[in-house]
Amino acid sequence: MNKWAVITGAGSGIGAALCKMFAGEGFKVLAIGRRLNAIKETRESSRNPDNIVVLSADISTKHGRADIFNAIPPDDKLCFLIQNAAVGVPNKLEEIKCEEFEYAMAVNVTAPLMLTQGFLKRLDTSHGRILHLGTGVAFKAQIGTATYGITKMAFHRLYEQLQVDLKPFNILIANMLPGVVDTEGLWEHIKLAKQQSLPHVEYFDHCIKENLILSAEDSAKFMKFVLLETTNEEYSTEWNIHDQSHWNRWKNL
């Protein structure tokens, strides 16, 4: 019987780094992304490519989620569901496109809810763990961040709801703030924000100048620690990579 970790947004950044780490720990990893070439690169650049199963799927659609549910053999054990995928085009209020906002809601909120529901019985059987990747943008309204910020705030509310709804089940859920991470999505966001002269670009410039942008590997290492090394009693909470109280437990792993 194989043990599985399901990771959305696995084509680059934190998702790709985490796929490789879990594959190295002996898990079968379902690496999910929209871009087939990107998730293939995740597998091919891994030291344990045979442990990574590539799945090109749009999690915003019923068809895409059905492919995800059907990808794991029924007799295998689903241990982890990592809700990492997120989208959100930066735009001023007058430039927000309805279809982009609706797509962000579908990816950032609807899909995580439906993936949890679809895997509910399997995670319950395995005493599994769910991890949400949050962001501080959800809690700080700024010009140009409506699409990403509003949908990620709804994602946080989903985490709070699932904390309650999962109590009758043998499933634990945690939320994580991974910091500002060097990913393809970050640099694309900064480029688009600069094109529109959005004010939060100053924050990113500060992070770049002060060397505050974290590597995807460091953030993935933190996630792996939370998922694999914490007790049931301490897991179900909100984890912040900048909280130094736990650094001695994972920084040197």
Alpha-carbon span 107 to 117, nearest angstrom: 15
Cβ atoms of 206 and 212 within 8 Å: the answer is yes
Contacts of 107 (CB under 8 A, 6+ apart): 59, 60, 85, 86, 87, 151
* CA-closest candidate to residue 139, choices 150, 130, 147: 150
In this prediction, residues 106-120 reach a mean pLDDT of 98
**pTM for this structure?**
0.95
Alpha-carbon span 176 to 92, nearest angstrom: 27
CATH superfamily to which 3-179+215-250 belongs: NAD(P)-binding Rossmann-like Domain (3.40.50.720)
Instruction: Give the total residue count for the chain.
Output: 253
Alpha-carbon span 210 to 204, nearest angstrom: 10
- The enclosing H or E element of 63 equals helix 62-70
**pLDDT (tens digit per residue) in 147-198:** 999 999 999 999 999 999 999 999 999 999 998 988 888 888 888 888 988 8
